Structure 1
Amino acid sequence: MAQIEKRTAKSGTRWRVKWRTGGGRDGQWNVETFDFQVDAKRFKALVDANGNHRPTPQQLAEHGFVELLPAGVAAAPAPEPAAAVLTFRAYAEEWLGTLVKPHPETVRKYRERLEKHVFPRLGDRPIAEITRREMREWQQGLRDAGLSAKTIANIRGESVVPVFKAACRPGEDGEPAVRTANPMDGLPLPEGPRAERDILESPDEARLFLEAAYAVDPEAADLLLCKLSTGLRWGEVSALPPRAVNVVRGTVSIVQVLRKVNRRWVVEPKPKTKQGYREVPLTAAVARMVAERCAAASRDPGRQFVFVAPRGNHWRYEDFYTDRWVKIRDLAREKGLPRRMTMHGLRHSLLTLLATEGVDLAALRTMAGHASVTTTMNVYVHATRRHHEPVRQIVGSFLCVDELTTAGGRPTRMAARVVQAPVDS
């Protein structure tokens, strides 16, 4: 898979695309440098779609990279498409223009995914002619390029399937449907290993983690304690304002989020979806900690957040991860925590705990801020070992087995107490 490197010199910033021919370790290194990052991203997508080989002269010309054509090779004019041919790219752009409900940042994300992962392979194909085999090969190509099954599912579900669904419906003015069937229907995701996220499974593991957090930085530890006890997403807990805290009820409400837009972290005045608006209960100890921080914020007119970085602003994810989280994670492992935790794993830990303790599904979905409880149960709730001992007791009682052993500890015979039903005379 090609890489993009940022190169800074006196003449300015440039972007270099590097890849090995064929993608293997023994492949020859290739390099192309661009003045703009967007051009580097487009060229990288072409290299990835071409199996880590240099794009052909025709591809370079079609995608506007005429200056990269080999010496002596003229850019052949691209053939004009027939008026009746509607490409996937043209239809997808039109579909994006009709979206009214998603947040503008969400629409931007859809377009970015299409430009990076879909258009290089399917953009110039007539949308009416794309087959299920092509879509299967497209998915497998993403998997071979190193994308996870979840990432492929997101690209497919948010930026590809809706385009084909729209193409199967009549137009707004009654025009006939562009397609008669959706090539994604019945097409499974490519196979691949699904890594189980590490979670905190017991009070001892939670204690080890929190001890490490408070040993590294009490300020950062307060944020992580709130995150672990509420299951909030990073963007929700890092942008939590004092006005969202209800000290009397001991709850926090999600009224704004921190989101990365064009490589900058900005505070959005509303959650991503309507399910994001929710009120989450706090334990007594966490409620006291949050209340104290709100009181401190009330004495500082310039403080806008419950949890603040050393400079008084909200925590940026990258800064928190590098300067705090890595140290906390490593110290927790030194203390004996047998897990390689991630920050998002804290959210998984809480939702798994609540599900294990029998919290009803509706409440669990609300705590998570999900639109569907299926997402909560299938993605965020994990199997733990807490059921092992109850299972041993239940099965042992059912079997009623006594194990007789010798002095050496090896079993000599098994004596089962069998209760016989009375025999009818």
Structure 2
Amino acid sequence: MAQIEKRQYEGGKVTRWRVKWRIGGTGKWDGQQFDYQVDAKRFKALVDANGNHRPTPEQLVEHGFAELLPAGVAAPAAPEPAEAVLTFRAYAEEWLSQLVKPHPETVRKYRERLEKHVFPRLGDRPIAEITRREMREWQQSLRDAGLSAKTIANIRGEAVVPIFKAACRPGEDGEPAVRTSNPMDGLPLPEGPRAERDILESPDEARLFLEAAYAVDPEAADLLLCKLSTGLRWGEVSALPPRAVSVARSTVSIVQVLRKVNRRWVVEPKPKTKQGYREVPLTAAVARMVAERCAAASREPGRQFVFVAPRGNHWRYEDFYTDRWVKIPDLAREKGLPRRMTMHGLRHSLLTLLATEGVDLAALRTMAGHASVTTTMNVYVHATRRHHEPVRQIVGGFLGVDELTAAGG
């Protein structure tokens, strides 16, 4: 498979993305550089679909990379079709253009996923001829490429299945349906081991993680402490304004979020869903830390956020991840933390803790900001070993093994 490398020039001010691969999988290295990561991802998908070979001139033109044609090679003329054939790509583009309910950034993500994971294999196929076998093989190819079952479920559930459903309905003016059946109906996800997310399971593990965070950068550590103690998403905690903090009630309210739109991080004045509007309690120590930051913000004209990057603005995820986060789990493991933590794993850690401590499901769903408690329990709550010792005591008492072994000794 091809790889994508992040490259920085002019002292880190300019970022480029390079796609590189071994020709045919085992030959010499070849590569192509891009200004934007999304273009690099699209090009990588073409290289992978082409068996680790550079895309053909026809493919370059078709997928919007005509500027990469070799010198002296003219853009191939599009062949005259014998008759118009409605391809999956053409139907998908029309479907995307008619969506009105999703946020524009959500529509952009749908298009990006289709360009990267679906169009290279199915884009040129007549949508009416795509079979169930093709869709099963497509799913398995994503699994073989290393995508998780959850990622594949997101791709098919958010875009592929709705496209086929739309194709099975008559047109707006009564035209006959493009398809008679949905090839995704009843098609299970490809089998494979579910990767269990690492979480902090004990006070000692939380202490090791936080010690590492404060050793790397106290400013960043305050943000991570708030994230771990509240279960907030990245976009919620990084855009938290002082006005959302209630010192008297020791709570924070989610009133705005940070979201990436057209490759830029912007603050939006409302959460994505109505469940996103919620009030989250703070422990005494975290409430003091947040209150001190709010007081500092009041003394700094123009400061809009509780947690700020070195230049005084909100943290961009990429900067925080690259400059701060990657150092923290490594240091925590050196200190003895037996986990490979991710930033989102902090949210999983809190929700698992609350579930194991018996917090009722309604409160748990509210803390998470989920529409359904099923999402909270099935995705965010993990099995831990905290029950092992109570189980040993209960089962040992039931069996009376200790008395038997003592008598036998």
2:16 counterpart residue number:
14
Unpaired runs of at least 5, structure 2: none
TM-score by length of 1: 0.85
Looking at structure 2, the residues matched to 337 and 39 of structure 1 have their Cα atoms a distance apart, in angstroms, of 38
Which has the larger displacement, 399-408 or 90-99? 399-408
| Cα pair 1:16 1:40 within 8 Å, conserved | yes
TM-superposed CA distance for 1:230, in Å, is 0.4
| Cα distance change, pair 404–137 in 1 and its aligned pair in 2 (3 A) | same
TM-superposed CA distance for 1:195, in Å, is 2.0
Looking at structure 2, the residues matched to 290 and 9 of structure 1 have their Cα atoms a distance apart, in angstroms, of 37
Looking at structure 1, the residues matched to 10 and 353 of structure 2 have their Cα atoms a distance apart, in angstroms, of 54
SS in 1 for 2:228: helix
| Cα pair 1:18 1:32 within 8 Å, conserved | yes
Looking at structure 2, the residues matched to 402 and 4 of structure 1 have their Cα atoms a distance apart, in angstroms, of 59
Looking at structure 1, the residues matched to 37 and 388 of structure 2 have their Cα atoms a distance apart, in angstroms, of 53
SS in 2 for 1:403: helix
TM-superposed CA distance for 1:171, in Å, is 2.1
Provide Cα deviations, 1:30-70, integer angstroms capped at 9, x if missing partner.
Answer: 34567887765544322212232344565456546678778
| Cα pair 1:167 1:178 within 8 Å, conserved | yes
Which has the larger displacement, 292-301 or 155-164? 292-301
TM-superposed CA distance for 1:25, in Å, is 5.9
TM-superposed CA distance for 1:194, in Å, is 2.3
SS in 1 for 2:408: coil
TM-superposed CA distance for 1:26, in Å, is 2.9
| Cα pair 1:139 1:152 within 8 Å, conserved | yes
| Cα distance change, pair 39–251 in 1 and its aligned pair in 2 (3 A) | closer
Unpaired runs of at least 5, structure 1: 410-425
SS in 2 for 1:404: helix
| Cα pair 1:62 1:78 within 8 Å, conserved | no
| Cα distance change, pair 203–171 in 1 and its aligned pair in 2 (3 A) | same
SS in 2 for 1:125: coil
Which has the larger displacement, 52-61 or 87-96? 52-61
Provide Cα deviations, 1:312-353, integer angstroms capped at 9, x if missing partner.
Answer: 111222322233323332332233222222211110100000
2:152 counterpart residue number:
152
| Cα pair 1:16 1:32 within 8 Å, conserved | yes
SS in 2 for 1:212: helix
SS in 1 for 2:4: strand
Looking at structure 1, the residues matched to 357 and 191 of structure 2 have their Cα atoms a distance apart, in angstroms, of 32
Looking at structure 1, the residues matched to 350 and 16 of structure 2 have their Cα atoms a distance apart, in angstroms, of 44
Looking at structure 2, the residues matched to 211 and 57 of structure 1 have their Cα atoms a distance apart, in angstroms, of 54
Which has the larger displacement, 364-373 or 124-133? 364-373
Which has the larger displacement, 391-400 or 106-115? 391-400
| Cα distance change, pair 46–25 in 1 and its aligned pair in 2 (3 A) | closer
Provide Cα deviations, 1:353-373, integer angstroms capped at 9, x if missing partner.
Answer: 011112222221221112222
TM-superposed CA distance for 1:237, in Å, is 0.5
Looking at structure 2, the residues matched to 126 and 158 of structure 1 have their Cα atoms a distance apart, in angstroms, of 21
Which has the larger displacement, 181-190 or 350-359? 181-190
Provide Cα deviations, 1:175-234, integer angstroms capped at 9, x if missing partner.
Answer: 222212111111122223322111111112222222332333332222111111100011
Looking at structure 2, the residues matched to 311 and 69 of structure 1 have their Cα atoms a distance apart, in angstroms, of 42
| Cα pair 1:236 1:254 within 8 Å, conserved | yes
| Cα distance change, pair 68–198 in 1 and its aligned pair in 2 (3 A) | closer
| Cα pair 1:232 1:368 within 8 Å, conserved | yes
| Cα pair 2:49 2:121 within 8 Å, conserved | yes
Which has the larger displacement, 228-237 or 35-44? 35-44
Looking at structure 1, the residues matched to 11 and 332 of structure 2 have their Cα atoms a distance apart, in angstroms, of 45
| Cα distance change, pair 82–14 in 1 and its aligned pair in 2 (3 A) | farther
| Cα pair 1:135 1:183 within 8 Å, conserved | yes
Looking at structure 1, the residues matched to 73 and 297 of structure 2 have their Cα atoms a distance apart, in angstroms, of 66
| Cα distance change, pair 169–202 in 1 and its aligned pair in 2 (3 A) | same
Looking at structure 1, the residues matched to 76 and 92 of structure 2 have their Cα atoms a distance apart, in angstroms, of 26
| Cα distance change, pair 206–68 in 1 and its aligned pair in 2 (3 A) | closer
| Cα distance change, pair 211–61 in 1 and its aligned pair in 2 (3 A) | closer
| Cα pair 1:231 1:348 within 8 Å, conserved | yes
Provide Cα deviations, 1:58-93, integer angstroms capped at 9, x if missing partner.
Answer: 545654667877899987643344655321111111
1:76 counterpart residue number:
76
Structure with larger Rg: 1
2:383 counterpart residue number:
383
| Cα pair 2:105 2:262 within 8 Å, conserved | no
Provide Cα deviations, 1:123-163, integer angstroms capped at 9, x if missing partner.
Answer: 12111111111111112222222323222222111121111
| Cα pair 1:49 1:141 within 8 Å, conserved | no
SS in 1 for 2:307: coil
| Cα pair 1:168 1:178 within 8 Å, conserved | yes
Looking at structure 2, the residues matched to 18 and 37 of structure 1 have their Cα atoms a distance apart, in angstroms, of 13
| Cα distance change, pair 314–354 in 1 and its aligned pair in 2 (3 A) | same
Alignment of 1:26-37 (within 5 A): 26-32=26-32
Provide Cα deviations, 1:83-128, integer angstroms capped at 9, x if missing partner.
Answer: 5532111111111111111111111111111112211211121111
| Cα pair 1:48 1:145 within 8 Å, conserved | no
Looking at structure 2, the residues matched to 3 and 168 of structure 1 have their Cα atoms a distance apart, in angstroms, of 38
| Cα pair 1:252 1:281 within 8 Å, conserved | yes
| Cα distance change, pair 41–285 in 1 and its aligned pair in 2 (3 A) | closer
Looking at structure 2, the residues matched to 390 and 7 of structure 1 have their Cα atoms a distance apart, in angstroms, of 52
SS in 2 for 1:265: strand
Looking at structure 2, the residues matched to 322 and 73 of structure 1 have their Cα atoms a distance apart, in angstroms, of 40
| Cα distance change, pair 204–65 in 1 and its aligned pair in 2 (3 A) | closer
TM-superposed CA distance for 1:172, in Å, is 2.3
| Cα distance change, pair 351–53 in 1 and its aligned pair in 2 (3 A) | same
| Cα pair 2:233 2:347 within 8 Å, conserved | yes
| Cα distance change, pair 105–399 in 1 and its aligned pair in 2 (3 A) | same
RMSD: 3.2
| Cα pair 2:105 2:260 within 8 Å, conserved | no
Percent same amino acid at aligned positions? 92
2:60 counterpart residue number:
60
| Cα pair 2:25 2:51 within 8 Å, conserved | no
SS in 1 for 2:252: strand
| Cα pair 1:230 1:350 within 8 Å, conserved | yes
1:128 counterpart residue number:
128
